[in-house]
Amino acid sequence: MSLAPEKAQERAHEKARGGTPEPDVAAPGGAGPEAARTRTGWRNWAVRTASLLAAAALWQLLTATDARVWLRFDRLPSLDEIAAEFATQLGTRVYYLDLLQSLIRILTGFGIAAVAGITVGILIARSRWAGDVLTPLLEAVRPIPAIALVPIAILLFPTDEQGIVFITCAAAFFPIMVSTRHAVRALPTLWEEAVLTLGGTRRHLLFNVVLPGALPGVFGGLSIGMGVSWICVISAEMISGDFGVGYRTWQAYTLVDYPATVVGMITIGVLGWLTSALIELAGRRATRWLPRAEGSGA
């Protein structure tokens, strides 16, 4: 039978009597909670790395042997061809200019969408009048894929650059707005009543209760919005761009340069992962006051 409950009771009684509780004895070999978390973290990273290496090895095997197992891997470049093309592009100025241009587009459109989406989401959730005015318009436009707005963007904006930023912003706006609206509406009304009863103002309620309480949902919308933004900015660059990672990837495909096409795809994936990881990190820092389950870290 476990002695853990009895040990906990003894410590509680000792503390109630004003004594100093006996410290917990570390497990044999010094394997405390911190050491266990460290081992778990290393094990998780080992598994993730092994999965990537296994996928790369399978790709190399199928492409090097020109395998045809329903799918035609004989048309795809092998890892050594992709690596050689990657090394070549890393030594060119155009590669970095494309990276910079795509990042400028995504950060500009996403930044505008984040500010607008959070603001509109809070406004709709907190004001019935604003909800009645804005919700029908937003719900009529929300089902339209952002990439379908390319013809409107071409006609509406004087330059392709502004049109691509608009499409990126439209793609991110709706996930952020909807997540914020739901997060604010899900807040317990007891919190608001308690603040107002204690003499708090509406401004105090917004910045000290509503925004902090809705942060988990807001960051969930930001993470989704970033992923959707990358999909749309790359698609827009392929359709109407003159430079950028999406444009360069599509150009390589039209020129039947498949190694360069895969390099572009890998670049897009890495950029999307890095930007999403930064949002996840910012979300964990901003919501560090929330209780978390053991081993829930990314």
The residues spanned by each domain of the chain are 86-286
Three-class secondary structure of residue 72 per DSSP: strand
pLDDT-wise least confident of 64-68, 170-174, 198-202, 277-281: 198-202
Give me the pLDDT at residue 17, please.
Answer: 52
Q: What average pLDDT does range 22-47 have in this prediction? A: 68
pLDDT score at 222: 94
What pLDDT score was predicted for residue 3? 45
pLDDT at 61 > cutoff 80 = yes
CA distance 81 to 87: 10
pTM confidence score: 0.77
Q: How many percent of the chain have pLDDT more than 90?
A: 45
Q: Residue 155: how many CA atoms within 13 Å on its side-chain side?
A: 4
Give the 3-state secondary structure of residue 101. helix
pLDDT > 70? residue 173: yes
Question: Which class is 86-286 in CATH?
Answer: mainly alpha
Q: In the predicted model, what is the mean pLDDT of residues 111-122?
A: 95
| Mean pLDDT to the nearest integer, 185-213 | 80
Q: Which of 116-130, 192-206, 253-267, 282-296 bottoms out in mean pLDDT, i.e. has the lowest?
A: 282-296
The mean per-residue pLDDT over the stretch 274-294 comes to 82
Percentages helix, strand, coil for the chain (3-state, rounded to 5) are 80, 0, 20
Which run of H or of E encompasses 21? none
Q: How far is CA 7 from CA 18, 27, 82, 129, 289, in A?
A: 17, 15, 60, 58, 29
- Please report, as a single letter, which amino acid is at residue 98: D
pLDDT at residue number 37: 73
pLDDT recorded at residue 10: 53
Q: For residue 275, is pLDDT > 70?
A: yes
Residue 90: per-residue pLDDT: 92
Residues forming beta bridges with residue 69, ordered by sequence position: 71
* Average pLDDT value over all residues in the chain: 83
Burial bucket for residue 105 (CB in 10 Å: 0-12, 13-18, 19+): buried
Q: How far apart are CA 127 and CA 73, in angstroms?
A: 56
Name residue, tokens 């807001």: 218
Torsion angle defined by CA atoms of residues 60, 78, 55 and 223, in that order, rounded to the nearest 10 degrees: 170
Between CA 169 and CA 159 the distance in angstroms is 16
pLDDT above 90 for 155? no
Q: What is the DSSP letter of 297?
A: -
Distance CA 271, CA 268 (A): 5
**Average of pLDDT values for 175-195?**
87
Contact 138, 177 (CB under 8 A): yes
114's tokens: 């984040």
Give the model's confidence band at 1: pLDDT under 50 very low, under 70 low, under 90 confident, else very high.
very low
In the numeric block, which tokens belong to residue 198?
Answer: 């204690």
pLDDT, mean of residues 24-51: 72
Distance CA 190, CA 271 (A): 42
Q: Once rounded to an integer, what is the mean pLDDT over residues 239-259?
A: 88
Nearest to 295 by CA among 36, 23, 46, 2: 36
The DSSP element (H or E) to which 277 belongs, if any, is helix 258-286
Instruction: Report the pLDDT averaged over residues 163-184.
Output: 93
Lowest mean pLDDT of 15-24, 34-43, 82-91, name the range: 15-24
**Cβ-based neighbour number of residue 234 at 10 Å:** 27
